[in-house]
Structure 1
């Protein structure tokens, strides 16, 4: 009986090894200056104080990583190294409502490259946990009253910002909050 219990315990411990504590990571495209300040001003005006602490960005992956942090970071570096720089063109504000109370700027150019990065990042050591399908965008306002969302969508109906993407950023929550771990050049 103890042998059976021991095997059962070993199996349980083995299963627990596969379920080691995981941390959240994020891989984003940072927005360079001067576009970053323009977007910060819009986010401040329509998104409120909560947007101040988060720089404007396009999320590529946000979720848990499997195995070790180093394996996850290596995956990000490998995918970045295989990706050439590209241009992002942001268009007029849209909304995810009624599914989600968000106003965002869509990518008119650069969405295909973001999709390719997203798919590459999700292979091997990374996995994506989300209630929503991936949709490359830049959030302007969320978790604010509907009138703020309406105002953002109306005011930003003629947006035409573009910028060159030459790097991605890797964030982690190993210290209990989001922190920039690494900026990784493309190509």
Structure 2
């Protein structure tokens, strides 16, 4: 077996704390439909695969988290990735560089980020819905100013086709 081929799937995300989580969840419910409602609001750091063993992947995520300091994320007014992707999202006005640093550190060994798009820290509000809903989300959320402290990351096991929380890891 070739050890250079990804064999398993995982996700590493920044969870959004309360009360901001509930606010974002309501917006996602209103504009994003079933695809976004089932998943808690988050900022993805890595969505992909890992080589070798789950234990090695977990150890890498823990090591990266232990080396990172807490930081603040500030979300800004809704934007879209259209026409490249039918998504409305909230950009990071603060915290994007820290997300990039975490993303790069997580990919420094056996983790792989697998996406058809380049990494771009953001929080998805709506995707895979009619254009009218995307337009409504972008119009309604044009004056957003929402901040929260990032004190942990979450590791998900996605091998069975669902996101299953494996561990929440405190930064620092």
TM-score, with length taken from structure 1: 0.89
- How is 1:59-98 mapped onto 2 (pairs within 5 angstroms)? 59-98=44-83
Structure 2, unpaired ranges of 5+: none
* Greater helix share, structure number: 1
1:124 Cα deviation from its structure 2 partner: 0.7
Match of 1:58 in 2: 43
Cα separation, 2, equivalents of 1:136 and 1:107:
7
1:127 Cα deviation from its structure 2 partner: 1.3
Match of 2:151 in 1: 166
Residues 1:32 and 2:10 are matched in the alignment: no
- How is 1:1-187 mapped onto 2 (pairs within 5 angstroms)? 16-18=1-3, 22-187=7-172
Cα separation, 2, equivalents of 1:177 and 1:48:
18
**Structure 1 residue runs of 4+, over 6 Å off?**
none
TM-score, with length taken from structure 2: 0.96
Match of 1:5 in 2: none
Cα separation, 2, equivalents of 1:131 and 1:53:
22
Query: What is the number of residues matched between the two proteins?
Result: 172
1:130 Cα deviation from its structure 2 partner: 1.4
* Greater strand share, structure number: 2
Larger Rg: 1
1:177 Cα deviation from its structure 2 partner: 2.1
> Secondary structure of the residue that 1:174 maps to in structure 2?
coil
1:19 Cα deviation from its structure 2 partner: 6.0
